[in-house]
Amino acid sequence: MALLEVRDLHVGIEDCEILRGLDLTVNAGEVHAIMGPNGSGKSTLSRVISGKPGYQVSAGQILFKDEDLLAMEADERAAKGVFLAFQYPVEIPGVTTMNFLRAALNAQRKARAQMEFSTPDFMKRVREVAKSLNIPQGMLKRGLNVGYSGGEKKRNEILQMALFEPSLCILDEIDSGLDIDALRIVAGGINALRSPERAMIVITHYRRLLDHIVPDVVHVMSKGQVRKSGGKELALELEARGYAQFEDAA
Amino acid sequence: MVAVPETVERVRRIDVDQYRYGFETLIESDKAPKGLSEDTVRFISAKKNEPAWMLEWRLEAYRRWLTMTEPTWARVNYPKIDYQDIYYYAAPKPKKTLSSIDEIDPEILKTYEKLGIPLREVAILEGVEPPPGGEPSANRKIAVDAVFDSVSVATTFQKELKAAGVIFMPISEAIREHPELVQKYLGTVVPTSDNYFATLNSAVFSDGSFVYVPPGVRCPMELSTYFRINERNTGQFERTLIIADKGSYVSYLEGCTAPQRDENQLHAAVVELVTLDDAEIKYSTVQNWYPGNSEGKGGIYNFVTKRGDCRGRNSKISWTQVETGSAITWKYPSCILRGDNSSGEFYSIAISNGFQQVDSGTKMIHLGKNTSSRIISKGIAAGKSQNTYRGLVSAHRKATGARNYTACDSLLIGDKCGAHTVPYVEAKNFSATFEHEATTSKISEDVLFYCIQRGLSQEEAVGLVVNGFAKDVLQKLPMEFAVEAQKLISISLEGSVG
Ligand SMILES: Nc1ncnc2c1ncn2[C@@H]1O[C@H](COP(=O)(O)OP(=O)(O)O)[C@@H](O)[C@H]1O
Ligand SMILES: [Mg+2]
């Protein structure tokens, strides 16, 4: 059984079709990279999988652990183990990162009928993870993402990913706005979370990220469809020849 | 609230004979006829066994009220009130006793649950009688009274307060026992002629709290009207007077997060605070009166006049309020900064949902030299509500070096509500420094989706964001109030997002 199975997915917004029959199968333990030109629908796919309202699914299916993901609210999907690292994480003034993490983690645990973490256990866990990602304690006491640099915001996304232990991680352009050192830290954090039970979908424009996070499968997306899939060498080919060759492949 | 089990225990130890405040039974009939006239005023005064000067004071207010007209400048709409169709006095009725917790309105039970108030306490709060063979009913009665009746609880704490020299009692009692203090201060901050609703209150007020803190005393506990939430009939025309004498300090909590209903739709309270040299009063309110149903029917009209007079040098008055209830809120807790170097603060969270209308804010009147004031207002509008901040900051000619900082932030949830900011500024001298900042924002879909993607429900997400928005003010509340206020904020906004 695949962890995630997207079949013939058609999605539109305001009468404009964005995903036009997309297929994607991701097994537990695999890392998939999705590459493709701007506007090809990569972010849309990530949002539809994670349950952002406002999109019309006119056809197709998304199965996650054999369950119909499209029938669930976004918070249910999160509790089931779907995590989306946002390209542009939002700022929430007045809500400290620490508080946000605890509220979110406990909400997920509650939905799964698990015990809530005690405060000391929770703090200990957060500190460990934060340390591994070079996140200073002081940052956790500030408003969520408020005044964080681009790199800090992205690290904060990985911190949450590590804390929530999702089974499917979707990372939308996690490399955008990162300098080479920040990229190394973020990629290191992501690699540390690779495991046989977990799958990742890494959305990126640049092969550079894939030097750090080596994918098992690379997909090329264009105009709302996956046009080609292959091994990690496909990323190199793309870099050499550009996306143009895939535009009219279908 | 948190104090309940302890309070119950303390009150159990009181001798029943100490329950000596039976003045309500002095007069046979227990209800004034409907409507307002000099006779109504005389009736109330007689019921309260008041001295002649108090009656005169009320009558003067009543006569003044007849010459006044209801204000219309606030951004609120309501059908015309027929003042002759209201009962102005009804004798205390024992709370309707329920035989089991199942008889409590399930909506109210749900709210208690969300506020985290244990069922045992709910039973006490809602006046459920224990089953036969349950707890000894005499003890139980006292305990129930203890929660609801300031008189007996005041007794409980009286010893400790007495040792400190603090007077804390119903104002009706203070009028009889401390007439010199009441006469000296009553109506000196909010004169009987102040405004339509305050004048009405002066004529017909039923009861309220009186506090006097003697010179140099730091009140040993936070004084809470929580114990009086259901004190009968004081909700409607409540009158409170707090005096902090030289160098003293007191913190006073009014209201309760638990939902409060009242059959009387019109509420017109007056609160007067006086601080003498180097004294400080911190006054915190949580207002959660019934806001009306989902169609906007019913709900309390809350027309309140609250004012503090920093009469002495270096004195300080601080208002903190969390307003979530009432169909209409008309309320401007203010500070008169009379003493040199005195300071005033106003921290407010005003939430409106459904069809609620809030017109609230403050007035900071700088009269003394080097006076300072600070206003932090957080307005949150959801549903089809209207939420207005109305504030005045003024510096008189002699108020050299007056300083004010105002920050007014509004948060909109959905697109059928409105938030409005109406600041008035009058600086009559050049050395005044007034700063004003205002923002209006919306909870964006992106913020909501981010939170929900991390596992929070829509309602939890809204609650979290709003609590973050209101944090600066929440931090000003006493600890035990703050925690409940946070939950209350989330509850008040339920169903506010599509
Ligand atoms: N809210 C929206 N309303 C209308 N069109 C949208 C909206 N969001 C995305 N699109 C369109 O959908 C297409 C795919 O966008 P997106 O998924 O962001 O692509 P990518 O992430 O691959 O750059 C683009 O043409 C974009 O303009
Ligand atoms: Mg994108």
Domain enclosing residue B359, as ranges: 3-489
Provide the domain count of chain B.
Answer: 1
Say if B495 falls within a structural domain: no
Task: Considering only residues B477 and A8, tell me which one the structure prediction assigns the higher pLDDT.
Answer: A8
For residues B5 and A65, what is the distance between their CA atoms, to the nearest angstrom? Answer: 49
Atom 18 (ligand 1) nearest CA: A43
CB A240 within 8 Å of CB A57: no
B464:A100 CB<8 A: yes
Nearest-10 crossing angle of helices B479-492, B106-115: 130
Give me the residue label for tokens 């999160």.
Answer: A78
pLDDT at B203: 95
Q: Tell me the two tokens of residue A123.
A: 């703090």
Task: Using alpha carbons, list the distances in angstroms from residue B3 to A249, B162, B480, B484.
Answer: 72, 20, 10, 13
With a 6 Å cutoff on the Cβ, whether A222 touches ligand 1 is no
B195-234 confidence digits (pLDDT tens): 999 999 999 998 888 999 999 999 988 887 644 333 444 4
Say if B451 falls within a structural domain: yes
Digit-by-digit pLDDT tens for chain A (250 residues) are 799 999 999 999 988 999 999 999 999 999 999 999 999 999 999 999 999 999 999 999 999 999 999 999 999 999 999 999 999 999 999 999 999 999 999 999 999 999 888 888 899 999 999 988 888 888 999 999 999 988 899 999 999 999 999 999 999 999 988 888 889 989 999 999 999 999 999 999 888 899 999 999 999 999 999 999 999 999 888 888 888 777 654 4
CB B137 within 8 Å of CB B12: no
Whether B442 contacts chain A with CB within 8 A:
no
Among residues B373, B305, B377, B306, the alpha carbon closest in space to that of B338 is found at: B373
Say if B318 falls within a structural domain: yes
Mutate to test the interface with B, among A48, A52, A108, A117 (most CBs of B within 10 A): A52
B453:A78 CB<8 A: yes
Beta bridge partners of B241: B210, B272
B458:A75 CB<8 A: yes
With a 6 Å cutoff on the Cβ, whether A15 touches ligand 1 is no
CA–CA–CA angle A180, A185, A188 (5° rounding): 120
Atom 4 (ligand 1) nearest CA: A13
Residues of chain B found within 8 Å of residue A143, distances taken between Cβ atoms: 468
The residues, ordered by sequence, that sit 6+ positions from B393 with a Cβ below 8 Å of its Cβ are B363, B364, B366, B373, B375, B404, B406, B423, B424, B425, B426, B434, B436
Among residues A10, A138, A157, the alpha carbon closest in space to that of A90 is found at: A157
* Cα(A149) to centroid(ligand 1), Å: 25
Say if B497 falls within a structural domain: no
Task: Find the radius of gyration of the CA atoms of chain A.
Answer: 18
Q: Tell me the two tokens of residue B27.
A: 């007069």
Give me the residue label for tokens 């992205």.
Answer: A154
CB B308 within 8 Å of CB B344: yes
Whether B459 contacts chain A with CB within 8 A:
no
* Cα(A76) to centroid(ligand 1), Å: 25
Say if B254 falls within a structural domain: yes
With a 6 Å cutoff on the Cβ, whether A13 touches ligand 1 is yes
Say if B496 falls within a structural domain: no
Domains and CATH numbers, chain A: 4-249 (3.40.50.300)
pLDDT at B114: 61
| CB atoms closer than 10 angstroms to residue A237 | 15
Greatest Cα pair distance in chain B? 74
Minimum mean pLDDT range among A96-100, B75-79, B348-352, B380-384: B75-79
B233-292 confidence digits (pLDDT tens): 445 888 999 999 999 999 998 876 666 666 668 889 999 999 999 999 999 998 888 888
B404-436 confidence digits (pLDDT tens): 999 999 999 988 999 999 999 998 888 999 999
pLDDT at A199: 96
For residues B71 and B279, what is the distance between their CA atoms, to the nearest angstrom? Answer: 34
Residues in chain B: 498
ipTM above 0.90, yes or no: yes
- What percentage of chain B exceeds 90 in pLDDT? 50
Choice from A43, A204, A219 to test ligand 1 binding pocket (greatest atom count within 8 A of CB): A43
Say if B498 falls within a structural domain: no
User: What's the DSSP call for residue A116?
Assistant: P
With a 6 Å cutoff on the Cβ, whether A87 touches ligand 1 is no
For residues A132 and B410, what is the distance between their CA atoms, to the nearest angstrom? Answer: 39
B456:A75 CB<8 A: yes
Answering whether pTM is above 0.90, one says no
